[in-house]
Structure 1
């Protein structure tokens, strides 16, 4: 499928009298890089989630081992107490037998020695178990601190994203009911803008109202330099029937995403390295294309805001 799209892009570049081959080549390279970067970010998020789950499992296993060690230590303590009681009884018996016969005394002495040997062995076992228990407790405390720090960082990131979502919602209040929604899911903020707010049919030129919305969004993003910004263009499944400058829905969605990026780049407070434009054509619908209402929802721009995960990655590497 990718090869066919590339062939169409190259063909359109050769046949078009308005756009040079270099422009289309640059678009293709950007698209490939963006797709690769998107896949890398998704893989990184998946790896971090897996690492966090693995750490939690290790923590639970260590806690169970700690509890088992406590039980074993208590049992050894109980055995030690019983042995000491038995030894006292034998000592009392020894004193009584000492008065009766030398044979009984010798037998009792041997039993006493055996009990003393057992007592010493149990004391050594108890000391070794106590030492192992202390080591487990220290390891448990260390793991608990690292888990707590990781949870604190994750909670902090979630709180920052919630604050960012609220700031965006406030900045874009004037566009409520005009095909714009702001949501927070899976640690990210999603801003969805239907094309009726941004573009005319078949066009990738942003209208005045849409430009205002994007500029107001940019004013909030400029205050959050540690946020990665992915702009995705989406279409419905109707075949593109516009001018020859566009090879299809995928090309159109890419141009629309790039148009939003260009508006955001007008704000000097936004780091261009944080911006990514991607076109997904009709292949990521959020509603059925069987109705006009569903098609309208699918024709959209999605701005996906992701926090930088460097601090979380550092903590995971230290574990």
Structure 2
């Protein structure tokens, strides 16, 4: 549905104009107390930390999957060894059973011979009795061995059944981990696709401004709309020029159609000291004042939920070009509108 909306927005020329106006308005900086700036800064750092946490969680799940697979492989080897050992003991059990039957048969024969020997000489009778006793003892030993082997065989079967249960549990756990990992990867992939589509939509909406102080890029899963000072403000001022207002209006239309995107407006200056007067005392004040001005233009020209918007001033401490030349300073005097996807679905899945 989001891509369809984006497609309609691209075909709607009036909406494209609104998006361009919105992009210009986002570059105005507002005077915000230092405490509010810190809160904004913390919100941005929290967003980056959450993104890193997601990557680490994805790596942790992959490591756990590999460990579970290794455990499953070892258990399968143990299972096969147990099955082989059980088969050997089963063969031994059957052999003892045959021997037992033969001994029983021999015993019966001895009993018959004993009866005959009683009719013969006493010496022969005593020998037969001794042989009979020996046979009885041997038979008893075989019976004891048979019972012991049967007990061991039953224990091996119980161990095998327990091993099968453990293997089934490990396989189920591994399947759940794999399914969860795939779901996480699918959500991340979908977010990347949405952000790529959003980048293209924003670029299309602001196509008339690209090359005139405006660029649209994507980095770390976020869309960056960078507007140079010349497109939005006069030197040392925070009132947005009409051309910049139009660009911000165009951008506002796109952001209005994408409610699952959070919006950060950052003001940046060069390192030269602010030379104005009034309630603006330095580059910190100027950068915040410009960011807030852009927020107001976005809100005035769309139905964007204000909770999605954050205004921040970065002064001169995040330059894109550290050189001390007029060209470098012109690049550094800019406003960046950073579009970040909401990751609520990922957090819910990770907490399950």
Equivalent residue, structure 1, for 2:294: 260
Equivalent residue, structure 1, for 2:336: 302
The reply to whether residue 66 of structure 1 matches residue 72 of structure 2 is yes
Higher relative contact order (CA 8 A, sep 6+): 2
Write the mapping of 1:218-229 to structure 2, written as runs, cut at 5 A: 218-229=252-263
Indicate if the aligned counterparts of 2:252 and 2:302 stay in contact, CA closer than 8 A: no
Deviations 1:167-206 (A, max 9, x none): 1111112222223222222221111112122222222222
Equivalent residue, structure 1, for 2:205: 171
- Which deviates more, 101-110 or 229-238? 101-110
Whole-Å separation in 2 of the counterparts to 1:262 and 1:288: 31
Write the mapping of 1:38-57 to structure 2, written as runs, cut at 5 A: 38-57=44-63
Whole-Å separation in 1 of the counterparts to 2:291 and 2:182: 39
Give the match's secondary structure for 2:351.
helix
Aligned with residue 273 of structure 2, among 218, 233, 239:
239
Whole-Å separation in 2 of the counterparts to 1:135 and 1:145: 15
Deviations 1:103-149 (A, max 9, x none): 44333333222221221111011011111111222222223222222
Write the mapping of 1:85-96 to structure 2, written as runs, cut at 5 A: 85-96=91-102
Equivalent residue, structure 1, for 2:181: 147
Equivalent residue, structure 2, for 1:138: 172
Indicate if the aligned counterparts of 1:190 and 1:302 stay in contact, CA closer than 8 A: yes
Shift of 1:276: 0.8
Indicate if the aligned counterparts of 1:233 and 1:281 stay in contact, CA closer than 8 A: yes
Indicate if the aligned counterparts of 1:236 and 1:289 stay in contact, CA closer than 8 A: no
Whole-Å separation in 1 of the counterparts to 2:351 and 2:300: 38
Indicate if the aligned counterparts of 1:98 and 1:104 stay in contact, CA closer than 8 A: no
Equivalent residue, structure 2, for 1:314: 348
- TM-score, normalization by structure 1: 0.83
Shift of 1:257: 1.0
Give the match's secondary structure for 1:290.
coil
Deviations 1:141-173 (A, max 9, x none): 223222222222222222211111111111112
Equivalent residue, structure 1, for 2:245: 211
Aligned with residue 39 of structure 2, among 30, 33, 36:
33
Give the match's secondary structure for 1:174.
coil
> Based on CA coordinates, which of the two structures has the bigger radius of gyration?
2
Q: In 2 relative to 1, CA 50–95 (structure 1 residues): closer, same or farther, beyond 3 Å?
A: same
Indicate if the aligned counterparts of 2:299 and 2:306 stay in contact, CA closer than 8 A: yes
Equivalent residue, structure 2, for 1:5: none
Write the mapping of 1:111-122 to structure 2, written as runs, cut at 5 A: 111-122=145-156
Shift of 1:32: 3.9
Q: In 2 relative to 1, CA 131–294 (structure 1 residues): closer, same or farther, beyond 3 Å?
A: same
Indicate if the aligned counterparts of 1:222 and 1:267 stay in contact, CA closer than 8 A: no
Indicate if the aligned counterparts of 1:223 and 1:269 stay in contact, CA closer than 8 A: no
Whole-Å separation in 2 of the counterparts to 1:59 and 1:152: 17
- Which deviates more, 190-199 or 35-44? 35-44
Whole-Å separation in 1 of the counterparts to 2:329 and 2:95: 91
- TM-score, normalization by structure 2: 0.76
Indicate if the aligned counterparts of 2:253 and 2:302 stay in contact, CA closer than 8 A: no
Equivalent residue, structure 1, for 2:313: 279
Whole-Å separation in 2 of the counterparts to 1:167 and 1:59: 38
Size of the alignment, in residue pairs? 295
Q: Root-mean-square deviation (CA), in Å?
A: 2.3
Whole-Å separation in 2 of the counterparts to 1:299 and 1:81: 80
Deviations 1:9-63 (A, max 9, x none): xxxxxxxxxxxxxx96x64454343234333333433444444443333333333
